[in-house]
Structure 1
Amino acid sequence: MKKVVITGSNGLLGQSLLNLLLQFQEDYEVFGLARGENRSGRSDFTYVSVDLTDKLNVNAVLERIAPAVIINTAAMTNVDQCEIEKEACTILNVDLVRWLTEYASGKQTQLMQLSTDFIFDGKQGNYKETDMPNPLSHYGLSKLQSEKILQDSKVHYTILRTILVYGSVYDMSRSNIVLWVKASLEKGKKITIVNDQFRMPTYVENLALACKLAMDKEVKGVFHVSSDSLLSIFEIATQIATTFNLDPKLLVPISSSALNQRAQRPAKTGFDLTKTQSVLGLPITNFAEDLQNFKEKITYDSI
């Protein structure tokens, strides 16, 4: 049985990973690490409340567990907040990864890190794993720095870069684009949506599956995970409205410059998914079918 630690187990991906891995309890002994109470709604795994910004605390917990795999889903991901609170962002997004790497050094532990399309400047799009990063924000820089820590180490690392993750779990601490657009339109609210930023949205259940495949196959290196649909944020919102039978006329297109956001965003990202499909064997899906699957899941969960 493989001991698996999920840091940030209260988050969207963390809870999704718990729900996936705990279907295979004969294969994995799962440990969830996060701050405060267990918010997953599950008690069939070992939960450890830990301050992930405290190196000694983190290391003591890991030494006690001695995991075969660490999946680090903990991060500060609010891009504008990272620009304002750079030190807090660096501690969670960079320092924690350094501590996890130091723990895993010299051990057989596989260390899996989640990264982002925001390490790129958005001038090219359709990025391969080998393309040159050039982050435009402190958030993007912090995630790139964490990648470099792993790549410069001798640990068995796996980096999964992803884009605009959405989904729903038992106890949500924050929203995401699909839930926000859906909730706003259900209330009849007009919302402004940028029409000059292009992304490939990622359904969290597909991302969780990518983590499991990377763990089971014990792969090393960098992999890109997203849907294969490159859409403007406005087109994404329109697709959400269509899928949930809501009024797309409430969506108002706006340019990025008019938003005056604190952190600069890349204009066009999107991934080349060839390596992920061939090495991980992850099925490539489009946004429309993922969104329909998500709709059916939340409809079923609410019954």
Structure 2
Amino acid sequence: MIKRVLITGSNGLLGQKLVALLHQQAEVEIIATSRGSNKLATLFPAVRFVSLDVTDLQQVQQVLQAEQPTHLIHTAAMTNVDECELNQAACWLQNVTAVENLVAGCAQLAVHLLHVSTDFIFSGEQGPLTEDAAPAPVNFYGQSKLAAEQVVRAGSAQWSIVRTVLVYGTAHEYGRSNIVLWVRDSLRAGKQIQVVDDQFRTPTLAEDLAQGCWLVVKHNAPGIFNISSRELLTPFQMAIQVADYFGLDKTLIVRANSSTFTQPARRPARTGFIIDKARDQLGYQPHTFGEGIELLAHQMQEQQGREQQE
């Protein structure tokens, strides 16, 4: 049976990886949606694109009615943690009101909704965590994402929630940096960098997160799934691995703790996920961080080559 999968936030990092992965699946028809114009038009000209602002209920209902998807993967969100702390109304609109709109639309048309959530719904007092760990967010971003999960679970549509951690990757016309790129470029420029060594995460390659979302859709798997890597690492340990891979000067990486940095939003100290459920029920197999660095290095090389040709 053909799955018609509507992706929100298709211009974002995860959205782009999902389009790249799903357009290769014979049994899938994609409807890519995002605010503004389609960044993927040149890369995937055959993929259908519809402009959609998920904070607009009327637009959500119109698009779902017109496109009739069987599944909806909701990746669009306000994810800059400090920005969320400083602009709480905008954060709530994009992370909670938008989800209310989608839940209502999906319930009406019996669409399976997959909602992407985060480790930041947890306090960070203990980790790695299983799917049934008790949430207790320490910042507004985490509060908004927890509220969104509650909206999804209370709705009458069939639902799945994929929680993830510290997603990194590279994408087409994607303005944000990632830890691999930041460390590599800083060290190449001979810059000293301070990197925290008292926060623990299981970093997630964007391709792995896309794969996890696809496996949930493929199996119509209900409930909550942790999708990340298996390795519990600090950003400092990640930075050392990046330096090692590119053969750069590790002495420029200065070990720091969280109190060194003044940020509007508090960060949970120790999260990370236990991914046994996704592995056993979905066959999910993530890359190691080392493999992720290698993949990114090749992608960045290819991207550079394309830019030089243009």
TM-score by length of 1: 0.96
The aligned runs of 1:1-303 (5 Å cut-off) are 1-24=2-25, 26-40=26-40, 41-303=43-305
- Return the alpha-carbon distance in structure 2 between the equivalents of residues 261 and 301 of structure 1: 32
SS in 2 for 1:188: coil
**Would you say how many aligned residue pairs link Structure 1 and Structure 2?**
302
SS in 1 for 2:294: helix
Amino acid at match of 1:246: L
- Return the alpha-carbon distance in structure 1 between the equivalents of residues 31 and 146 of structure 2: 27
Give how far 1:57 is off: 1.5
SS in 1 for 2:278: helix
Give how far 1:47 is off: 1.1
SS in 2 for 1:257: helix
Amino acid at match of 1:11: G
Amino acid at match of 1:258: T
Give how far 1:126 is off: 1.1
Deviations 1:249-282 (A, max 9, x none): 2212221112011101011111111101001110
RMSD of aligned alpha carbons? 1.4
- Return the alpha-carbon distance in structure 2 between the equivalents of residues 294 and 113 of structure 1: 26
- Return the alpha-carbon distance in structure 2 between the equivalents of residues 127 and 291 of structure 1: 24
- Return the alpha-carbon distance in structure 2 between the equivalents of residues 126 and 136 of structure 1: 17
Give how far 1:8 is off: 0.2
CA contact (8 A) 1:228 1:287 kept: no
- Return the alpha-carbon distance in structure 1 between the equivalents of residues 302 and 282 of structure 2: 29
Percent of pairs identical after alignment? 42
Deviations 1:114-160 (A, max 9, x none): 11111111111110100100000000011111111111122111111
Give how far 1:302 is off: 4.2
Unaligned residue ranges in structure 1 (runs of 5+): none
CA contact (8 A) 1:120 1:133 kept: yes
CA contact (8 A) 1:194 1:234 kept: yes
- Return the alpha-carbon distance in structure 2 between the equivalents of residues 99 and 49 of structure 1: 16
- Return the alpha-carbon distance in structure 2 between the equivalents of residues 65 and 284 of structure 1: 32
- Return the alpha-carbon distance in structure 1 between the equivalents of residues 217 and 246 of structure 2: 34
Give how far 1:52 is off: 2.5
- Return the alpha-carbon distance in structure 1 between the equivalents of residues 252 and 211 of structure 2: 34
Unaligned residue ranges in structure 2 (runs of 5+): 306-310
- Return the alpha-carbon distance in structure 2 between the equivalents of residues 27 and 203 of structure 1: 25
